Amino acid sequence: MRGQTSIEALLALAALLCALAVLAHATKAQTDAFAAVVDDADARTSLAREAFYIDLSADMMPSAALQRNLTGVPISGGKWLASQGSGALREPLFHKISVDDDGGYYVQSK
């Protein structure tokens, strides 16, 4: 009981709270970084699948309209598909695509 109200006890409590705060902060930074990696991988996988669907559709139905609501955005004259969330994520296309006024995607050329 002697140490409970002493300066040492208060210092110990402060040290404990500081250690907990540092650990919590570091843990949050780690989980945030992990969440960013997962989001990035998810976006990259989605983009790769969309590029696959686009090239596959273009092989089977040249000049046909592709599905709407794609998350990727055609760039570089429609030769690349970029992620809307992160422009650094892109997938090459073997067919040029373009966007019409209604937001649909069309194959420009084979």
- Footprint of another protein (CB under 8 A): 2-4, 6, 8-9, 11-13, 15-16, 19, 23, 26-27, 30-31, 33-34, 37-38, 40-42, 44-45, 47-49, 51-52, 55-56, 59, 79, 91-92, 94, 110
**Cβ nearer to another protein, comparing 26 with 100:** 26
Nearer to another protein, 34 or 63 (CB): 34
CB within 8 Å of 64: residues ≥ 6 apart: 57, 58, 106, 107
Q: Kindly state the smallest distance separating residue 47's Cβ from another protein, in Å.
A: 8
Q: Shortest approach of another protein to residue 14 CB, angstroms? A: 10
Minimum distance between the CB of residue 17 and another protein, rounded to whole angstroms? 10
Say how far apart CA 103 and CA 67 lie, in whole Å: 10
> What three-state secondary structure class fits 50?
helix
For residue 92, the SS3 value is: strand
How many other CB atoms are there within 10 angstroms of residue 15's CB atom? 10
